[in-house]
Amino acid sequence: MAAAISEAWIRKGGIVYGAVFMRPFDFQHIRCTTKEELVRLRGSKYVQSSIAGIYKQIEADLKNGLEILFIGTSCQIATIRNRFKEYDSWLYTVDVICHGTPKVETLKASIPKSVLQMDYDNVEFRENCDYKIAFKKAGETIWSSPLTHNLYMKGFFKALFNRECCYKCMFAKPERISDMTLGDFWGLDMARVNTTMDKGISLVLVNSNKGRKLLEMVKDDIEMIARPLEEAIVGNAPLRHPMPRTWRYHIYKKLYPKVGFRLAAIAAMPDIILKNLFK
């Protein structure tokens, strides 16, 4: 859905800002003006991205009368909207439903050093509904680690590595700060939906008149079905509350400085690891 909206936005002469992987090993927001540049934005990034360095670009675009589409987490959007509140009419925002964002250093610590030394140009976290960490070169996978074996991905979904602020996130609620909210439609009652989709379905929440305009732009490019809001809220915990800080977090945080990422993550998730081994 983010790709469809971004491409439509570029066609109408707008500017898109979104998160990408950057060498040597970082994730940050960039400015896109062409369809070709948008390819780098595709795919979920289960890690914190930096928006430092793009404020001047956004300000210049807005002062030049260009309409901007910013895609990011709710806290990033709160920052952008607050900084450029006088340009609200030209600034459109899309937030992704967020479980919390671990630091890049945590992700890097989970990757074997031999892999980090490879010649790669992208890091991906999923392919449709197939969760994994994959290092790629020119679109080809040169190393990958599936969810069943990857400690970082397991820990991410258990909110093991989140930043402190994520556990008390003020944006994890049905009332959204953006014009549109996107995510996976967990909780969708497929028995009541007439669709042939078999690769996952996007959840789209329209939160403002500007969000409605975004949806209107792509209505002829997508298959769209209206569902009750409650269905989305029940199926997506971050729409109700922040991800909780559990006993796993406390074990990991205490052990990580002493034994490193791998042993600390194993100690915090022994039941999950054993379950996968038995499978």
Domain range for 268: 2-278
Q: How far is CA 165 from CA 18, 89, 98, 100, 151, in A?
A: 22, 29, 13, 9, 22
pLDDT category, 247, cuts 50, 70, 90? very high
Rg (CA), the chain: 19
Question: Average pLDDT in the 162-178 region?
Answer: 96
Question: Average pLDDT in the 7-21 region?
Answer: 97
pLDDT at residue 26, rounded to an integer: 96
Q: How far apart are CA 161 and CA 128, in angstroms?
A: 23
pLDDT at residue 196, rounded to an integer: 61
Which tokens in the block code for residue 259?
Answer: 């034994």
Tell me the helices (H) and strands (E) count for the chain, helix number first: 12, 9
Asked if residue 4 has pLDDT above 70, the reply is yes
pLDDT at residue 47, rounded to an integer: 96
Question: What's the chain's average pLDDT?
Answer: 94
Length of the chain: 279
pLDDT at residue 198, rounded to an integer: 61
Which pLDDT tens digit goes with each residue over 43-53? 999 999 999 88
Q: How far apart are CA 120 and CA 140, in angstroms?
A: 9
| Listed range (70-79, 104-113, 159-168, 188-197) with the worst mean pLDDT | 188-197
Q: How far apart are CA 216 and CA 212, in angstroms?
A: 6
Grouping H, G, I as helix, E, B as strand and the rest as coil, residue 66 is coil
Total domains in the chain come to 1
Closest CA to 264 of 254, 276, 277, 273: 254
